[in-house]
Amino acid sequence: MTQSLPNIAERRTDVLARLNAAAKAAGRDGEAITLVAVSKQQPQARIDAMLETGQLVYGENRVQEAQTHWQDHVGHVPGLRLHLIGPLQTNKALDAVKLFDVIETLDRPKLAASLATAMDKAGRRPDLFVQVNTGEEPQKAGVLPDALDDFIADLRKTYEFEPKGLMCIPPMGEEPAMHFAFLRQLATRNGLDALSMGMSHDFETAITFGASHVRVGTALFGPRG
């Protein structure tokens, strides 16, 4: 019965209650934390059911799949905001800039250059987050922590980009809390406010450590197909 429609509205109510409880426990305002509903690899019926709940912020990790999921909704859902949370190839920069409101995965100078060109061409400037490879995993995208300060300085100087914040995906099987604390430290050091961190299994911990954006997929939509 994997194709049955989970009760999307109930799942969202539950996740929002957990988000607000974690915020309250941390002495934070839950309203200040953005729930990014990660709709990658989800059937359109679940996405449409989620839209009906009033959820307006969504995350996708591939440009082409995001176009399929969202092309018909863009321009028809006031307040809709799409976040790119997966790696971006330079040859997809223009498509990404046209579709997304936030690109969370800026992680190399060549991509910054492609995005700058794409933004001029599209006449649109999505918000940017810098992805940090906090676990220094060879297979994972993101700027290495040691290179981050120079990278951000270069974004500001060369491209006049002012990133909103930092994003990370902690290594599997490691305690996420230390990665969240580390990301916050890196952001503070660079004068950045926003922190995109925390997924279905660890978003409450991320909120304790200051997440401004949590990226939640399966807890909201059910298992991916």
Q: Which residues bind ligand PLP (CB under 6 A)?
A: 38, 40, 61, 85-86, 169, 199-200, 215-219
Nearer to ligand PLP, 61 or 205 (CB): 61
3-state secondary structure of 87: coil
The total of other beta-carbon atoms located within 10 Å of residue 121's CB is 12
Name which of 170 and 210 has its Cβ closer to ligand PLP: 170
Comparing CB distances to ligand PLP, the nearer of 115 and 214 is 214
Per the DSSP assignment, residues forming a β-bridge with 81 are 57
DSSP state of 72: T
Q: How far is the CB of 65 from ligand PLP (least distance, A)?
A: 12
Shortest Cβ distance from residue 216 to ligand PLP (Å)?
Answer: 5
Q: Are 224 and 217 in contact (CB under 8 A)?
A: yes
How many residues in the chain?
225
Nearer residue to ligand PLP within complex by CB, 167 or 186: 167
Q: How far is the CB of 91 from ligand PLP (least distance, A)?
A: 20
Nearest distance from C-beta of residue 76 to ligand PLP, angstroms? 25
- Report how far residue 47's alpha carbon sits from residue 166's, in angstroms, rounded to the nearest whole number: 26
Which residue matches tokens 């990660």? Answer: 38
If the CB atoms of residues 43 and 117 are measured against ligand PLP, the closer one turns out to be: 43
For the chain, the 3-state helix, strand and coil shares in percent, each to the nearest 5, are 45, 15, 40
Residues pairing with 213 in the sheet: 34, 196
Q: How far is the CB of 129 from ligand PLP (least distance, A)?
A: 11
Backbone angles phi, psi at 200, to 5 degrees: -50, -40
